[in-house]
């Protein structure tokens, strides 16, 4: 697909994917009227983004979940979302149970053996 070169017919879109330690992003120039699907297919062409696009479970524009057929505007940020490893409520319960267990263990240690 060739892009028209007339002024005002191109839009700038950023595709980003957040990793544990960093954020990968690529800025693309697309034709006006492009869809999220078009942005993702162009992002696949950039080094390292092909695998990231394939791993993504859902997509969003500025944090709002959208479909592949959502229309893009100039300046939009398309975000790729991974699948959750652990549901947030379950993770919170695990952390709370662990903290409670640590508190109970500290209280069992004799006072003379406690270090501050």
pLDDT tens digits along 6-27:
556 899 999 998 877 778 888 9
Where is 26: in which H helix or E strand? strand 23-31
Beta bridge partners of 11: 30
Residues in the chain: 116
Distance of CA 77 to the CA centre of its chain: 11
Instruction: Report pTM.
Output: 0.62
Of the chain, the percentage scoring pLDDT greater than 90 comes to 12
First to last CA, the chain: 67
Share of the chain above pLDDT 70, in %: 78
Q: Which helix (H) or strand (E) holds 12?
A: strand 10-18
Sign of CA dihedral 98, 100, 106, 108: negative
Residue 87: half-sphere exposure toward Cβ, Cα within 13 Å: 3
Q: Which parts of the chain fold into alpha helices (H)?
A: 36-43, 49-55, 88-108
Which domains are assigned to the chain? 10-83 (3.10.20.30)
């Amino acid at each position: 697909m060739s892009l028209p070169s007339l002024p005002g017919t191109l839009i700038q879109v950023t595709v980003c994917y957040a990793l544990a330690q960093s954020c990968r992003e690529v800025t693309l120039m697309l034709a006006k009227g492009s869809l999220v699907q078009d942005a993702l297919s162009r992002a696949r062409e950039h080094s390292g983004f092909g695998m990231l696009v394939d791993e993504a479970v859902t997509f969003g524009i500025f944090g709002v979940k959208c479909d592949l057929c959502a229309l893009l505007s100039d300046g939009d940020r398309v975000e790729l979302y991974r699948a959750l490893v652990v549901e947030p409520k379950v993770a919170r319960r695990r952390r709370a149970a662990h903290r409670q267990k640590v508190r109970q263990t500290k209280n069992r240690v004799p006072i003379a053996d406690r270090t501050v």
